Structure formats: structure tokens, C-alpha cells
Chain A
């Protein structure tokens, strides 16, 4: 059983963060970053995030394990068909990777290879089902596996999306598909988060609140304009704008969110945008 699964089952407040594989073959910086992390249960390894081509997350995840850092392997439906997805999953299991986060994937239109053919042979719900199936020793064609993986599968959710009911239907399908934990998209509106948690709680699946470090007002504006599903409310943009030390203000905002997560969620997923050294400050 992975550390992540164990801690969540023991109702301990879990902290995850994420690392992107390098664009290139030199893993030293990514591994050094991961080793320096403190107070973290597991680290997401992103998969061609935003449609930008990088080294295979499977490789970095395996190297993290060797380095004693527990990975959460992200896998998107954008880049692989069902054969490739299952093949990578089995490969991950064989290398000892247990945590996976299954995603549709950002559209590649805004990535660095916009000419690529998008795959989306499966969607995230169907991929969750496939993983549940693999855990039972069968592939999607119902053929028996030699050696059975035991994935701890997670999924993403955007608690702030409107209409709420439409977003929630998908959330429920993911739970039914076999999601054992959720990491949320960054959400800054407390009322929306509370509404989501009230609806999600009866389903009993742990939710890690996505906490994104706002480095300054420009970052916030960039997120609003460019990152699908992320909205920084005007009053927070204003607060960063007025702050003498914007980064400190950003950390303070993150800290408030972590406090809110301690109250109503089961953990946090920290997105520090390259400022890993500030993670301890975000957690206190």
C-alpha cells in the first residue's frame, strides 16, 4: 500500500505537490528538487502538462521512487490510446509506482506541439474504469494479466465549475469509476468550495484542495487569462497589487487556504510554481 493511501485511510491530513519532468534528459534538477521537499506525502509527476512536450513522467516517477520520494504518476488521455495507456500503467506497476492520477489532459492547442493529433481514445472516467479493471487482474479486453497491479487511483475535479450540477455529475461518475482520492483544480472562492465539499462528503472520497501560490498580481492575471478553470477573484488580485511584498501576500493567501482545507478537506495539493522552498511557509 502506498504511503498516500495509508495516510488517507488513517485520516491524516495529506500534503502533495507536483514536479514537472525536464524538457530534455537531465533529471538531476528535478530529483534534487524532490529530495529537498519537506512535509510532503507524495509528489505528482505531470504528463506533458498544458500540452507541452517533456520527458516521460513514468521515468521520473520511477527515479523518484529510487530516491525515496513517493510519486503520483499523472496520465492523460490526450496523448495515448487505450493500448498505450494500459501498457504505461502496467509498466508503472512493474516499476513500483502505485499512485496514479488519471486525467483527460489539457487541450494541446495551447501547448508547444499544436499540430499534433489529439488522441482522447478514452476519457478520464473510462480510464478510471480501466484501472479498476487492471486492479482485478484483467485488461480492457478482459484478458487475464500476468501479475496484478494494485493502483491507488485518483482523479481531478474543478469544484468551482459552473453549472455546479453538471460538474458534479462528472465527479460522481469518477467516483463510480473507481477514483479513490481527488485533487482539485486551484479554487479561491470559499463559498464554492464549501458547496462542493458539502455535496461530495457523503460519497466519502478524500479530497485534496489545490492550493496555488500566487506570486504577484501579474501571475494572478495570467492564470485568469490562460489557465482553463482557474479564477482568481478581483479582491485577491487587488490584495496582491497593493501588497508591499507580493510574494509574502501570496504565501499568506495560500496559508489561509491550507487552513480552510484542514477544516473541510482531507489534504492539500500545493502548486508552488517553482518556489518549492516556500512550501513549509505555506503549511504553517
Chain B
């Protein structure tokens, strides 16, 4: 899931300058789960906008705002309210915002900061485990990603800053290489320690990414 959080109201207010009437968009998927762009947050935004003298022409929660065609369809359903607005405020990740901006020529204002692809520990507690590097090494690292969970993304073992199994960059956190080592040991295998991992092929991470099946 894409983890996002709301920009502070002050920053949002700057972006709203000169915009009187607004149409609001939320996302029913990730931004709802993150409590950054669900029904409740869109409602709160609406109340706040009223308090700063803005008018809301309408709103919609798109099932998955990152779905470009679905976003187009939902905006069409609210054609009139969108047409009345000076701008659209979108509470969705950056991908969701761009689904909207690719479907309207109106000014689109992003209300969130997108943070990372996150795992859910429990509702409200998210952790980054994978940074989508395009060449997954998990099979050798006992299912723990050093690209993401090592603060330096090292591929051949811990740095000199590891202390008692904790990370140099944050002593509260376990060193990824310590976790990998411990788990491989439990599994009785050498895994990534059996060879020197060559430099990562970042070329596999096509930028911008594209994938078309079939």
C-alpha cells in the first residue's frame, strides 16, 4: 500500500490562493487506509475550507484513485460540479493526483505527501519493507530486504557502524544485516553470505516504469 499523509494546512492554504470554488477528490484505497484521504478526511477538509471562506462545489471518493480510467469515469459523473470549480483538491497519493490531472485541464492541488510503499503492522503503523528495485534479492536474504531496510542499502553485509546488532543510522532499529544473518542461521543456510553480490543493476528499474501484460 502507498503510505501518504496530509500536507499541513498552511502549505495547502498557500496553494489555494486565488481559488474560491473547489471540487474535492479522495481515494477509497490506500489514502483511506492511511486516514489521509478517505471519506472522513474529505469531509474534514470540506469543513476547514468553509472556515477559510472557500466554497466546495462537490466531492467524490474514487475507488482507487491511481486507476486512470476509473478516475476519468468518476469525474465525468460529477461533470457539472467539476466545471463549477476553480480547482480540484486531491487527497490521494501522487499517482492518484496524476490520474486526476491527466483527466482535467483544471488546476489540480495535491493535498498529501506520498511517503513510501508500506507494510501494515497494525492500522496506523506502517513500515517500509520494499523499495521496488526491479531485481529482487529476497531469496538470498532470508526474506529480509537490505536494499530497503539497511539504511545504506548495502548488499554484502553490515557496515562498520553496526553496534550490537543495531543500526548506525538509528540505534532504535535492528541492523538489517543482523536480522538477515540471524534468520539465515536459523534456516541453516548461507544465503547471501555464500557469494559477493555484484553491484546492483539499476537499469532493471526502468524509469519511468511501464509494464504491459500479454
| Chain A residues near B (Cβ < 8 Å) | 77-78, 82, 103-107, 109, 118, 120-126, 129-130, 140, 156-158, 161-163, 165-167, 169-170, 173, 176-177, 185, 228-229, 231
Cβ distance B202 to chain A, nearest Cβ, rounded Å? 7
The residue of chain A having its C-beta at the shortest distance from the C-beta of B194 within the complex is A169
Q: Report whether B161 and A123 are in contact in the complex, using a CB–CB cutoff of 8 Å.
A: no
Convert B165-196 into 0s and 1s, putting 1 for each residue whose CB lies closer than 8 angstroms to a CB of A. 10011100000011001000000000001001
Listed residue (B151, B196, B200) with the most chain A CB atoms within 10 angstroms of its CB:
B196
Of A77, A126, A156, A165, the most chain B CB neighbours within 10 A belong to A126
**Interface 9-mer from B5-13, B14-22, B66-74, B152-160:** B152-160
Instruction: Say which residue of A120, A156, A170 sits within 8 Å of B153 (CB atoms).
Output: A120
Residues of A within 8 A of B169 (CB): 107, 109
Query: Using a CB–CB distance below 8 Å, which chain B residues touch chain A?
Result: 151-165, 168-170, 177-178, 181, 193, 196-200, 202
Chain A residues with Cβ under 8 A from B158's Cβ? 161, 166-167, 170
**Cβ–Cβ contact B198 & A126, under 8 A:** yes
Q: Is the CB of B157 within 8 A of A126?
A: no
B154 touches A120 (CB 8 A): yes
Select which of A106, A125, A130 is within 8 A of B161 by beta carbon. A106
Chain B binding surface SS class: loop
Is A107's CB under 8 angstroms from B156's CB? Answer: no
Complex CA distance for A176 and B199, rounded to whole angstroms: 15
Q: Do the beta carbons of B196 and A125 come within 8 Å of each other? A: yes
Contact across chains for B160 and A185 when beta carbons are under 8 A apart: yes
Task: State whether A161 touches B152 (Cβ < 8 A).
Answer: no
Q: Give the complex CA separation of A123 and B159 in angstroms.
A: 9
Highest count of chain A CB atoms <10 Å: which of B160, B163, B170, B197: B160
A122 and B157 contact, CB distance less than 8 A: no
Tell me which of B152, B164, B197 contacts A120 (CB under 8 A): B152
Given A82-B199, A118-B152, A163-B165, do A173 and B160 touch, yes or no (CB 8 Å)?
no
Closest 7 CB pairs of A and B: A228-B161, A170-B157, A228-B168, A125-B156, A107-B169, A158-B160, A123-B154
Contacting residue for A121 out of B157, B163, B168, B199, CB 8 A: B199
Q: How far is the CB of A68 from chain B (nearest CB, A)?
A: 31
22 of the cross-chain contacts (CB-CB < 8 Å) are A104-B159, A106-B161, A106-B168, A107-B152, A107-B161, A107-B169, A118-B152, A120-B154, A123-B156, A124-B156, A125-B156, A125-B196, A126-B199, A130-B199, A158-B160, A161-B160, A161-B163, A173-B157, A228-B160, A228-B168, A229-B160, A229-B163
Find chain A residues with CB under 8 A from B200 CB: 121
Partner of A169, one of B155, B157, B170, B199: B157
Residue ID in chain A nearest B199 by CB atoms: A126
- Closest chain-B Cβ to A230's Cβ sits at a distance in Å of 9
For A129, the chain B residues whose CB sits under 8 A away are 196, 198
B193 to chain A, nearest CB (A): 5
Give the shortest distance, in Å, between A270 (CB) and chain B (any CB). Answer: 18
